[in-house]
Chain A
Amino acid sequence: MASKPRVKVPKMASVGDIITIKTLISHKMESGQRKNKKGEPIPRRIINKFTASFNGETVFSADIDPAVSANPYFEFSARVNESGVFKFIWLDDDGSEYTTEKKIAVS
C-alpha cells in the first residue's frame, strides 16, 4: 500500500544548525469511518506512528490518528552537531514498517 517514502534533508549543514526536514509517504489513511458500495464499513488502516531519529537519538515523533490526510506529510526541525544519518520509520496499522535513511555532512 505504501511505497518508497519521500524525504528531504539538506545534504550539508554547519555544526549547531537547525535544519528543516520534510517527509511524505504514500498511504490512503483509510479512516474506518467510510462504507463500501455494499454498505459495509471499510476497516481502518492508517499510518499510526512516525519517528525520526538522528544517530540513534529521537528528534521528532508523531502519534497519528485517522484525521491526518491521505499521503501523510510532516515537516519538522532538528539540530545537528555532527555528521550522521537520519532514520525515519512509519508504522502501519497492519504491522508493516516502512523505513528510509538520509545522510548529512556537518562541518
Chain B
Amino acid sequence: MKIGLKTISALACTLCVSVAVGGSAYAGPDDSSLIIEGQNIATDVKAPEGSAFDQLYSGWRFRATETQSLQEDDFENPAFVAVDQAIEEFHNVDGSAGKSCADCHSDVSDFKDVRASLPRWNAKTNKPETLENIINECRTERMGAKAWKWESTQMLGMTALVGLQSRGSAVNVQTDGPMAEWFERGKKLYYTRVGQLDMSCAHCHENNFGTMIRADHLSQGQVNGFPVYRLKWQGLGSIHRRFKGCMDNIRAKPYKRGSDEFIALELYVASRGAGLSVETPSVRN
C-alpha cells in the first residue's frame, strides 16, 4: 500500500499506514493485574455471549508500566485533584432552591454502583441518560441552578467523584426493553464507516486492538474508566470527548457532546464492556 506522506496530512497518514500493516505489530494486552487501594479491579473478563471479542480487556492493560502505576495509587492518580474539588462542590449551595447536592444525597457513597449501569433509561424524558444528564437534571430541576457544560471542570470533577463510588463494580447496562432501539442505533454508528479515512470504530478497536497504531497501542476502546485523566490532555475528559477525538482523527465531522448519537454510542460501547470493573477515574496516555 502506497500512500505518500505528502499526499495526505501527516496525522491522517499515521492512522492509515498503521492500520494497513495492522497485525504485524501485535503487542497484546499485558499480564498485569490492577489492585487499587486494596481492591481488585477486573481488567479482563470472559466476553459475554454474542460479543465480538473472546476476552474483554480494560484499556489499562494496553498501557506502559509507568502509566499503569499512576492509577494504582489514589494519591499518585492526578484525577484525584478533581475528585477533591468535587467533594467541596458536593457541599456547595447553588441555585434558587438554596440547596447543595448534600442536602438531598447525604453521602456521595449513596451513588454506589450507579456508574456501572449507565447510561440508563429515563422514563420521564423517554430516552437514555448519562451521568452528565443525571447531574444536570438535579441542578436544573431540583437546585434551580444552571446546567454545567458537558466538559466543564465542575462536571468532570463531579462525574469522577460519583463514578468513583462504583469503582470495582461490574459494568452492566440495560440493552433491552426501551433501550433496545438506542442499542441498535449505537451499534449501527459503531460499525458505520465515516470520515475521509472511511473507517468505523471497529477497524481500530475490534479488528486491531493490541496492535501498534504507529507509536500508540490500540485498546478495545472500553469506556469503563471514564472520565479519564489523559496524559495528553493533562486533565480529565469525558467519554464523548474521546469519541470526538476519534472522529477527528479519522477526519469525520464529530457529533456534539451530549447528542443522541453519542449517547447511543456510549450505551453500545458500554455494553461491549459488560463485566469489566468500573475504574473511574482511570489514567491513560
Contact = CB atoms under 8 A, between A and B. Distances in A.
Query: Per the CB under 8 Å rule, do A and B touch in the complex?
Result: yes
B81 interface: yes
Contacts of B234: 28, 69-71
Interface string B212-242: 0000000000000000000000110000000
A59 to B, nearest CB: 19
Contacts of A24: 75-76, 78, 80-81
Interface in A1-32: 3-4, 6, 8, 22, 24-26, 28
A73 B70 CA distance: 11
B76 A6 contact: no
Contacts of A3: 81, 84-85
A8 B85 CA distance: 17
A8 B88 CA distance: 19
B84 A4 contact: yes
Interface residues of A, number: 13
A25 B75 CA distance: 11
Interface string B81-118: 11011001000000000000000000000000000000
Contacts of B75: 6, 8, 22, 24
B169 to A, nearest CB: 25
B214 to A, nearest CB: 23
B75 to A, nearest CB: 5
Nearest to B80: A6
B157 to A, nearest CB: 10
A20 to B, nearest CB: 11
Contacts of B81: 3, 6, 24-26, 71
Contacts of A4: 84-85, 88
A4 B84 CA distance: 8
Contacts of A73: 76, 78
A26 B85 contact: yes
A8, A26, A28, A70: which has the most chain B beta carbons within 10 Å? A26
A3 B154 CA distance: 13
A68 B255 CA distance: 35
B3 to A, nearest CB: 30
A73 B85 CA distance: 17
A6 B84 contact: yes
A26 B79 CA distance: 10
Contacts of A69: 234
Contacts of A26: 81-82, 85
A27 B75 CA distance: 16
B228 to A, nearest CB: 15
A25 B235 CA distance: 13
B235 A70 contact: yes
A50 B259 CA distance: 43
Given A3-B85, A26-B85, A71 B76 contact: no
Q: Which 9 A-B pairs have the closest CB atoms?
A: A70-B234, A26-B81, A71-B78, A8-B75, A3-B85, A22-B75, A71-B81, A6-B81, A4-B84
Given A4-B85, A25-B81, A69-B234, 15 more contacts: A3-B81, A3-B84, A3-B85, A4-B84, A6-B81, A6-B84, A8-B75, A22-B76, A24-B75, A24-B81, A26-B81, A70-B234, A70-B235, A71-B234, A73-B78
12 contacts: A4-B85, A4-B88, A6-B80, A8-B75, A22-B75, A24-B80, A25-B81, A28-B234, A70-B234, A71-B78, A71-B234, A73-B76
